[in-house]
């Protein structure tokens, strides 16, 4: 059996979808379905069982809980970067992860977990997996950073696989439940359908209008990295997951306009409350991923958006 926590969420449900395509359905899906709309992410998936997150955490104290587990994809977390309840975030993202890691180590089960590129903060020192580059600026990022630090301390004395994946700006299918936290192409698509117009922030921090850059990575590529590590259980460590090539918001908006073959791009004033607290540039250093042996090429914005919008608008 394979366990996927956060299995009804964005990346978790895509991992299960990919596992199903490989013929794998002996899957335990763990999640919190307080937001019942997330069921739309999993209605087409085949799993062996569902378990509520809190019940799952309680069972982790039982050494006889589950046997013959091939691996755990730990995607479950409070992913809202706007959440400032530190007790809540640390309980969900740090303590939960530590308990699951301890259970996996006890049973010699591979753990592949979601970290975040938010650990790099404003990115003044770059985006390499290096302590000198890491300076989280919100409690979500700190919770991810601190679990990475915990993993770093125990990695030298562990036998079973532990992999932390620092996701950059992920976009793709099964993200509609995230609301304001959904990706830019999701919002751009909705804007264009509603008004024939895609709205971007005007320039800031020395960048021209819409020329701020992010490392946008398609969810299918993120899933492929996760599955590769499960198949290569001799590899452990913390790795960036991005394309390694920053692209502008203008290029993302243009890809949406090009797909629809209509619409225009306009610019709105840069929000005052974001000035000085906005990542104008991110770009993953994926040298560690390549050194580990991952060779597959990543889709660029034009390729990823074309595939995504065909699915989002039901033309695939």
Task: Give the active site residues.
Answer: 140, 178
Give the C-alpha separation, 220 to 171, whole Å.
9
Identify the three-state secondary structure at position 159: coil
Output DSSP code: residue 203.
-
Q: List the one residue out of 180, 168, 193 whose CA is nearest residue 286.
A: 168
Asked if 74 contacts 112 with a C-beta cutoff of 8 angstroms, the reply is yes
Q: Taking Cα atoms as reference points, which of 126, 127, 163, 132 lies closest to residue 148? A: 163
DSSP code, position 240:
E
Q: Which of 73, 87, 182 has its CA nearest to residue 143?
A: 87
As a whole number of angstroms, the distance between CA 60 and CA 163 comes to 20
Per-residue DSSP letter, 136? -
Alpha-carbon span 202 to 31, nearest angstrom: 38
């Amino acid at each position: 059996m394979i366990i996927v926590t956060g299995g009804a969420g964005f990346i978790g449900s895509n991992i299960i979808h990919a596992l199903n395509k490989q013929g794998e359905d002996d899957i335990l899906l763990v999640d919190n379905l307080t937001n019942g709309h997330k069921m739309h992410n999993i209605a087409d998936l085949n799993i062996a069982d569902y378990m509520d997150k809190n019940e799952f955490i309680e069972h982790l104290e039982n050494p006889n809980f589950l046997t013959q587990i091939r691996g755990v994809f730990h995607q479950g977390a409070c992913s809202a970067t706007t959440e400032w309840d530190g007790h809540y975030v640390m309980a969900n993202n740090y303590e939960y992860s530590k308990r699951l890691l301890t259970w996996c180590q006890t049973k010699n089960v591979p753990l592949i977990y979601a970290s975040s590129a938010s650990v790099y903060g404003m990115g003044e020192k770059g985006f390499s997996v290096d302590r000198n580059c890491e300076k989280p600026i919100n409690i979500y990022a700190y919770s991810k950073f601190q679990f990475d630090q915990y993993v770093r301390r125990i990695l030298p004395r562990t036998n079973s696989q532990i992999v932390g994946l620092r996701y950059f700006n992920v976009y793709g299918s099964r993200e509609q439940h995230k609301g304001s936290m959904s990706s830019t192409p999701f919002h751009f698509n909705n804007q264009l359908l509603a008004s024939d117009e895609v709205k971007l922030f005007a320039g800031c921090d020395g960048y021209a209008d819409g020329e701020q850059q992010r490392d946008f990575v398609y969810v299918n590529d993120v899933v492929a990295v996760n599955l590769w590590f499960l198949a290569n259980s001799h590899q452990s460590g913390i790795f960036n997951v991005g394309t390694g090539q920053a692209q502008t918001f203008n290029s993302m908006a243009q890809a949406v306009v090009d797909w629809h073959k209509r619409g225009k791009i306009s610019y709105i004033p840069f929000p005052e409350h974001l000035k000085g607290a906005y990542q104008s540039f991110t770009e993953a250093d994926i040298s560690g991923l390549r050194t580990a042996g991952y060779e597959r090429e990543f889709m660029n914005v034009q390729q990823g958006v074309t595939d995504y919008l065909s699915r989002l608008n039901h033309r695939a």
